[in-house]
Each structure stands twice: as structure tokens, then as C-alpha cells.
Structure 1
């Protein structure tokens, strides 16, 4: 008598169901991880921009610089006396008040892959909104 080698249809269906269950668990976790990475990139850029603002102010009689960076995959340096290049796909908009006493600035960061999420940092260094 010859023995048959291979898998039965039931065994194959069970494997497919198990793979489906694992995918149903893993895909939402992966999506959540990507969202956290986008927020981390925005927060890191806000902190780095804060450092660049303070360096700029030290060289510019205490004045801060208005910064507007469009979110692009290949960002360029801010320039104009400020040594700062944002992360890819992160957009930044800074509002500066150099006439106030003390002088102030507020920066909002967005990520092109995370629509609707905006992180904001003020001169005090507190990041809010994300």
C-alpha cells in the first residue's frame, strides 16, 4: 500500500486561519508604531529648533528668527544664520515676537504622513498638542 504524502485541506485551512489571526493582531500594532514615530520626529525637530533659536538669538542681539519649513521628503537647511535642518516630511511654522519683553516664539510642527496631528512648542520648551 502506498502512503500519501502532503497536507489535507483542513490542515491548510487551519494554517490560513492562524495566519489571518496573527495578521489581524500585528497590522494595527504596526500602524500605531508608525504614528508614534511621526510624533517623535516632530518632537525631536521642535527640540532641535529650540536649540537653534537660542543659538540664533545669541548671535542676533537676542532676536529670534521666523521659520517656515514645508514638509518635504528631502528638506533643506533653514539658513539665514540658523543651523537647522528638519527631518524628512516634517513642516514647521514659527511665530516670533521680538518686540515683546521678554521676546517670545511659538513653533507648530506637522508631519505629511500624520494629517491632523500638530505639535506645538513655546519658548518655555513645553510641547503640547500631540
Structure 2
């Protein structure tokens, strides 16, 4: 009599192979998703840069001044720039976009430079994306502590 089915070993082997393949696909998807979140963060910071420059164009080349240690959150930035809709980090409130400027602080319009930054998800080490008032942007492994551009 001839058997026309699969053995238990064959079925288990196929199940294991499909499980490994599925795990690989899911892990690749999660990595790509985190990279897309980081791309959005970079884009959001560039939008804030445009808002800063637009503000300065209307205020004799000066920016709203904030010099709090550790940076200010985007809620303060939106208020200072007079924005009604502001992009926010998807991990807020635990992770937010931050900024520092020189000047006297308290939101006065007397700052000459600014620095915007956000923590990225994709690298395995702590990495921040920075946008500086001098037009430079890029990544660094140290979170900013002053408004001077470290790039």
C-alpha cells in the first residue's frame, strides 16, 4: 500500500522554515518603519527651520530667545513662532523636538543663532539629528547643551 501524505517530520520542518522566514520579514519591516520615522523627524526639523527663518525675516534677523539647559520643547517653540499647527515626535512626550538659542531667554526676540534637534530611533547608539541656524544639518552622538552648532 502506497502512502500519499507527508510525514510529521516533513510538516514540522516546513513549519519551522516558514516561521523563520516570517520572523525575518517582520524584523526587516520594523527596521524600515523606524528609518521612516527618523526621516519624518528630519523633515519636521527642516520645517521648523523654515519657520525660524520666516520669523527672523519679519523681526530684523532675530529669533525668539530660549536658553534653558537641555533645550525647550516644541510647544514653547510653536508659541514663540506663532504657529497654530506644529509637527510633534511620534514618541512624545517621552521624546520631543528641542531647541536652544542665544540671547536673553524668556522668548524675547533677541537671539542671533538657534539649534534644533531630535533623537533618532534607527541607530543602536544614541544619535541626534541637528539643524543649525548657519544652515548646517547632520547627526551627532552627543545631545546639545548650548546653542552653538557642533557640526
The gaps in structure 1 that reach 5 residues or longer are: none
Kindly report which structure 2 residues correspond to 1:1-130, keeping only aligned pairs within 5 A, or say none.
Answer: 7-65=6-64, 66=66, 68-69=72-73, 78-83=78-83, 85-87=86-88, 88-89=90-91, 91-98=96-103, 103-110=112-119, 116-129=126-139
Write the deviation string for residues 25-68 of structure 1: whole angstroms up to 9, x where unpaired: 22331232132122112201110000110111122232112472
The gaps in structure 2 that reach 5 residues or longer are: 105-110, 141-151
Q: RMSD in angstroms over aligned alpha carbons?
A: 3.4
Once residues 7 and 135 of structure 2 are traced to their aligned partners in structure 1, the CA distance between those partners, rounded to angstroms, is 63
Secondary structure of the 1:48 match is helix
Once residues 103 and 78 of structure 2 are traced to their aligned partners in structure 1, the CA distance between those partners, rounded to angstroms, is 19
TM-score computed with the length of structure 2 as normaliser: 0.62
Write the deviation string for residues 66-102 of structure 1: whole angstroms up to 9, x where unpaired: 47226xxxx8982234325123335122111258xx9
TM-score computed with the length of structure 1 as normaliser: 0.70
Contact 2:52 2:81 in 1 (8 A): no
Q: How many residues are paired up?
A: 122
